[in-house]
Amino acid sequence: MAPAQLETLDEVLAQRQRERQRLDTSQQQQVSHARFAATLARRRYEHVDPAYRLAAAELEREWDDRLRALRQAEEAAERFAHEPDEPTLTPELRHQLLHLSQGLPDLWGSPQLRHPQRKALLRSLIARVRVKRTAADRVEVKSIWASGHFSEGIVIAPVGSQRHVTGYDTMVERTRQLWAAGYSDLQIADVLSRAGFRSAQRETVLAKPVMKMRPHHQWGSPYHQHR
Q: Reply yes or no on whether the pLDDT at 151 is more than 90.
A: yes
CA separation, residue 13 to residues 10, 83, 93, 100 (Å): 5, 16, 13, 19
Mean pLDDT of 123-129: 89
pLDDT, residue 75, reads 93
Contact present, 99 and 117 (Cβ < 8 Å): no
% of residues, the chain, pLDDT over 90: 30
Instruction: Give pLDDT tens digits for 42-62.
Output: 998 888 887 777 888 888 899
User: Who has greater pLDDT, 66 or 182?
Assistant: 66
User: Who has greater pLDDT, 168 or 102?
Assistant: 168
pLDDT, residue 10, reads 82
Q: Reply yes or no on whether the pLDDT at 72 is more than 90.
A: yes
Question: pTM of the predicted model, to two decimals?
Answer: 0.43
